Amino acid sequence: MDTSLLIYGPILLKAARLTIWLSWLSLVIGAFGGLLLALMRISRFRPLRLFAMLYTELFRSIPILIVLFFCYFGVPLVLHADLSAFGAATLALGLHASSMMSEVIRAGITSVGSGQWEAAQASGMTYLQTMRLVIGPQAAQVILPPSVGIFIMMLKESSVASIIGFVELTATGLLIRESVGGGFTILGVVALFYFVMCYTISLAGGVLESKMKVAGQNLAIDRG
């Protein structure tokens, strides 16, 4: 392999950090947005349910690239608010992550038996208390493992931010490619960077999942 690319190592590492930061931010936004949507989805009010359903269906049917363009070019025009490439990318990825997280969180919440709701209500707990103390801890075991998968998806999806000019890992690779005068080796290196990041996280997720399963089994035994 071309050893002259080695000097770009530190730059790529820095860029990889940015990629992780962007994906992490969107995952956090996705967790909050997804929670909100999931609660809407199981709510008693039809309009809320409908909104949450339309939201997830919409984001499942539109490419992230279009959402990104929308956030970067469209929103500032209408709202007169200048959005940086980073801001637009975070918003677009966050909106997309929200739709995916909402499905995961909904599955988590509904996996907790209705008896738990009734028991909590019978002991005089409010909605918030039930969610926080009874449903939340049990749902978390179902929610966490697939969230790792969504994080990996975000890591890969964040590469589209390069198209609107946010210089993360992919854009850095393209810039380096231009400064070394073409070729394709650097893009292989970038792909390898993504692979190492995603694969490591997916391995860690596997460990987490098996631990969660054990915890879930213990819980089941405790419950009798």
Partner 1 sequence: MDYIFTLRAVTPYLDALVPAVLDTITVSLATMVLSLALGMVFAVARQSRHLAVRFLATAYVEFFRNTPLLVVLYFVYFMIPTIGLRLSSFSSALLAMTLHFGAYMTEILRAGLIAIHSGQYDAGRSLGMSRLQILRRVVLAQVLRTIYAPLGNQFIAILLGSSLTSAIAVNEIASWTQTAGAASFRYFETFLVAAAVYLVLSQAVNFARIQIGRRLFPAAP
- Which residues here bind partner 1, judged by CB under 8 A? 58, 60-67, 69-70, 73-74, 77-78, 80, 152, 155-160, 162-163, 170, 173-174, 177, 182-184, 187-188, 190-191, 194-195, 198-199, 202
Nearer to partner 1, 141 or 158 (CB): 158
Closest distance of CB 166 from partner 1, Å: 13
86/193 with CB nearer partner 1: 193
Tell the smallest beta-carbon distance from residue 61 to partner 1 (Å).
4
- Considering the complex, what minimum distance in angstroms separates the CB of residue 58 from partner 1? 7
Q: If you write DSSP's letter for every residue of the chain in order, what string do you get?
A: --GGGGGGHHHHHHHHHHHHHHHHHHHHHHHHHHHHHHHHHTSS-HHHHHHHHHHHHHHHHS-HHHHHHIIIIIHHHHH-----HHHHHHHHHHHHHHHHHHHHHHHHHHHS-HHHHHHHHHTT--HHHIIIIIIHHHHHHHHHHHHHHHHHHHHHHGGGGGGGT--SHHHHHHHHHHHTTS-SHHHHHHHHHHHHHHHHHHHHHHHHHHHHHHHHHHHHHHH-
Q: Which is nearer to partner 1, 35 or 64 (CB)?
A: 64
| Shortest Å, Cβ 213 to partner 1 | 20
Residue placing its CB nearer to partner 1 in the complex, 139 or 164: 164
